[in-house]
Amino acid sequence: MTYVVTENCIKCKYMDCVEVCPVDCFYEGDNMLVIHPDECIDCGVCEPECPADAIKPDTEPGLEKFLELNAEYAKTWPNITVKRDPPADAKDWDGVADKLEKHFSPKPGEGD
């Protein structure tokens, strides 16, 4: 089992999650984060920290696509452990539909 970053992180990217993870298993893309499924120890402390409610346990149904996406990009995006300012328009993107299809960026973020 692992925790998974899902669609609502895209363009919200608040980064509260990275500060609480005891094993530093968040990786940063251009406009979202992912969790490395082999590094996550399933502690669950990040889930309630996410203001966008974007972190879910992989035991929830329907997350296959995001589990795959987290696993794939955690291999190449840089590690992130320190929170930076969220995007200025993060609030406007909270809850917007079809973000994966329309706004996902495969580009890496800055990392720490």
Q: List interacting residues with ligand SF4 (CB under 6 A).
A: 3, 5, 9, 12-17, 20-21, 23, 25, 33, 35, 40-46, 50, 52, 54-55
Residue 47 DSSP symbol: G
Tokens of 103: 């706004």
Which residue's entry shows tokens 């190449």?
Answer: 76
- In this structure, the strands spanning 33-35 and 3-5 are unpaired
CB closer to ligand SF4 out of 43 and 102? 43
Closest CB to ligand SF4 among residues 23, 82: 23
- Nearest CB to ligand SF4, comparing residues 41 and 82: 41
In the complex, the smallest distance separating the C-beta of residue 53 from ligand SF4, rounded to whole angstroms, is: 8
User: What minimum distance in Å lies between the beta carbon of 86 and ligand SF4?
Assistant: 7
The distance of closest approach from Cβ of residue 31 to ligand SF4 in the complex, given in angstroms and rounded to an integer, is: 10
Closest by CA to 50, choosing from 88, 92, 4, is: 4
What residue type is assigned to position 26 of the chain?
F
